[in-house]
Amino acid sequence: MKVDTEIRHVTQPGANLFLELGFLPDEAERLHEASMRQIDDTRQVKEQLMGELTTWIEQHQLRQADAAAILMVSRPRVSDVVNKKTAKFTIDALVEMLSRIGKSVRLAVG
């Protein structure tokens, strides 16, 4: 059995996916704006958690390899945290790392 792997369409970065899916223009714009806000909110939470981890690493003057051993992740993962590569992490993974160094996380909704 042959698997179809042909690419038929590529959505350009920043394009309104909802419009391409056939939503009416007003609804597509509303959905697009809502999704952009949600993506931005998630990115900000991840950056804050990464900032806490980075501060902890700096305060303890740890090399990335040493921090990785304590956090139970690879050294490249520590580098990704320090360089705030938010797309590479879930909020859960970052909370788990903070838990491993004894930092609890509380969520406040505003």
With b meaning 16 or more CB within 10 Å and e meaning fewer, what string describes 43-80?
eebbeebbebbbebbeeeebebeebbeebebeeebbeb
The yes-or-no verdict on residue 110 having pLDDT over 90 is no
Global pTM exceeds 0.85: no
- pLDDT per position as a tens digit, 54-100: 999 999 999 999 999 999 999 999 999 999 999 999 999 999 999 99
Residue 37 binned pLDDT confidence (cut-offs 50, 70, 90): very high
Read off φ and ψ for residue 21, nearest 5 degrees.
-80, -5
Mean pLDDT in residue range 99-109 = 92
CATH number of 23-100: 1.10.260.40
- The CA–CA distances, whole Å, from 22 to 25, 27, 39, 46 equal 9, 10, 22, 32
